[in-house]
Structure 1
């Protein structure tokens, strides 16, 4: 089976961690995030993947390569302009040809970490002869994810964000995980050569035409790494499961005598003896010197961002010597 990994986004809310790489190229548990997604697809029988690119495309190519390290064969399609989720599909088919999408295929967001049972979703998709099957989960915390309305196992509509104040006795809303299984005839509903999103421009039209868009609700582990806070919390969750207190990328060093706990160190980060680091992400090449304390923060080298314009959705930070620090 084939799959498409959506990896073209700007990663603005993850800035400044995305100042030198795209979001799917950030590290997670010893591998790039896109490698984690590729491994997930491979475990479920998806061996050929196409990845769409736009922001910092070479960082994604370098992270995934030909995909063989992660059990897939990868190819890439660049978008001169961002095209949206379904616009990306239309563009990929135009570049790769219709044969790549000639059978049932999977589309997955390149910014998630999950162990959701994709095989169960595929069974539901085939049993219902669906045009599309969207994997949903219960949004028990009522976070800012669009509410998906369903009826008798089918999707009815996509609405706004949930009210953070839950009415007593009201069921928690459902949200879309970014994992979907599609049939080739979905292209009949995708507007050609324009920016378009599946949930706003494709599925409402398909549902109105009588197509089945199936809601498959899963309770598997799922994390979405769109913000620095979520990125850190996801790492800490996975580290705790693995019995780890510190995650070191290549050439990252913690000197004996450094006090470090619940920290993620990207490649070449260095913590000197006498430094203290707690609940933090240290970007590539960051050095924490003796006597310095970092807690509840993400840190990158100041030289990477000094001349950069922070995107509108970025969390504000401050320069401190050779470091740029974002408090969480």
Structure 2
């Protein structure tokens, strides 16, 4: 009988979230609210449901926005601890630094921007049965032009990794993996290192039976860009529009708010129209404003990005940075 108990998980939450800007100028990516709940709490709830009680989060960028919504994890029935990275250590350097708190056995690594309901016990069973060093949860690549791929042999052993746009038939890694500590033990502590494109690529080239894939059929959602973020928020909220409105939200008279995510303490004036927008924490939208397909943030001390438009005290960004169609009118 194979023991499939998973005791420890590491969630990679140190990243800056460049693709999700300007949302990540306000909160770290794991802390952005998705259908009324900070993204990282969706991930933690999934892990708690899988029976995982010991979780570690690595921190670097806007860490207080993450710790404020997670705490010690007690309310989720788990123990959460944090590891501070003065410099970002990457997808391999982060796990190396966390080894002392992850136990001595196999452990789970989850990307901080992965929303899924993968069955962790099934993943662990594949990992143990195949005696792999690393087992990646994968699915058919939904968009090879956008996502890099995992190329395997006929038996599911990883041969190599290919970049986005490569025509080679491949799978898409969904950001959930089971690993052995030995994979990271030889790395120097505190030095940046990557997995895919780094130590995993080297491992796959030297050992044909080191990295295995585990095919999933479960849900996988990506919040990589502001447009992705809004689509996921709308999908999870369904017909419960209140889940899209944060704490302290106020909406003025004769105002229409359509398929729009309002973060905490947002005030929308009278006679406004917001359609397919994201409005971040503390923003005041003036009376009579009309916005469609944009992200609205407050004006801060940070530098204005080329893709942003300044309108009064607001910074307005098209949901798709390279597509300003129907973006703003105030």
Which of 28, 38, 41 in structure 2 is aligned with 1:35?
41
- Aligned ranges for residues 139-150 of structure 1 at < 5 Å? 139-150=141-152
Return the match for 1:185 from 182, 186, 192: 182
Q: Secondary structure at the match of 1:119?
A: helix
Task: Confirm or deny: 8 A CA contact 1:318 1:326 kept in the other structure.
Answer: yes
CA distance 1:209–1:192, change in 2 (3 Å): farther
User: What is the aligned counterpart of 1:153 among 133, 152, 156?
Assistant: 156
Q: Which residue of 2 is the match for residue 214 of structure 1? A: 212
User: How far apart, CA to CA, are the structure 2 residues paired with 1:186 and 1:31?
Assistant: 34
Aligned: 1:278 with 2:269: no
Aligned to 1:225: 223
Alignment of 1:154-303 (within 5 A): 154-163=157-166, 173-188=170-185, 190-207=187-204, 208-209=206-207, 211-240=209-238, 243-244=240-241, 247-302=244-299
Structure 2: gaps (5+ residues): 1-6, 320-330
* CA shift digits 1:2-28 (9 cap, x unpaired): 100101111122222112321111111
Q: Do the aligned partners of residues 32 and 143 (structure 1) sit closer, same or farther apart at CA in structure 2, a change above 3 Å counting?
A: farther
TM-score (norm 2): 0.87
In structure 1, the residue matched to 2:315 is 324
How many residues are matched?
311
| Counterpart Cα distance in 2 of 1:7 and 1:33 | 11
Task: State the Cα deviation string for residues 247-276 of structure 1 (Å, max 9, x = none).
Answer: 111111234532111111100012233211
Distance, in Å, in 1 between the alignment partners of 2:119 and 2:39 is: 19
Instruction: Supply the distance in 2 between the matched residues of 1:133 and 1:100 (Cα, whole angstroms).
Output: 17
| Contact 1:246–1:263 (Cα < 8 Å) also in 2 | no
Deviation at 1:224, TM superposition (A): 2.0
Residues 1:75 and 1:180: Cα distance change in structure 2 (over 3 Å): same
SS at match of 1:18: helix
For the residues of structure 1 that align with 2:24 and 2:67, how far apart are their CA atoms? 15
Q: Tell me how far apart the structure 1 counterparts of residues 77 and 253 of structure 2 sit (CA, whole Å).
A: 37
How far residue 191 of structure 1 moved from its aligned partner, in angstroms, is 4.9
Q: Tell me, which stretches of 5 or more residues in structure 1 are unaligned?
A: none
Cα distance in 1 between the residues matched to 2:26 and 2:318: 19
Q: Secondary structure at the match of 1:291?
A: coil
- CA displacement at 1:308 relative to structure 2: 1.1
Q: Which deviations, in whole Å up to 9, do the C-alpha atoms of 1:160-213 show, x marking residues without a partner?
A: 1135xx7xxx96x31111111112222345454421111223223333145431
Distance 2:116 2:306 in 1: 25
2:61 paired residue number: 55
How far off its partner does 1:227 sit?
1.4
Determine if contact 1:275/1:293 at 8 Å carries over to the other structure. yes
Is 1:6 matched with 2:12?
Answer: yes
Q: Choose from 14, 26, 31 the match for 1:20.
A: 26
User: Quick check: 1:246–1:260 contact (8 Å CA) kept in 2?
Assistant: no
Which one of 128, 136, 139 corresponds to residue 137 of structure 1? 139
* Structure 1 residues 295 and 70, CA gap change in structure 2 (3 angstroms): farther
Question: Structure 1 stretch 182-191 or stretch 54-63: which is displaced more?
Answer: 182-191
- Secondary structure class of the residue paired with 1:215: strand
Which residue is 1:109 aligned to? 111
- Note the 1:80-95 alignment, pairs <5 A: 80-93=86-99
Once residues 254 and 153 of structure 1 are traced to their aligned partners in structure 2, the CA distance between those partners, rounded to angstroms, is: 53
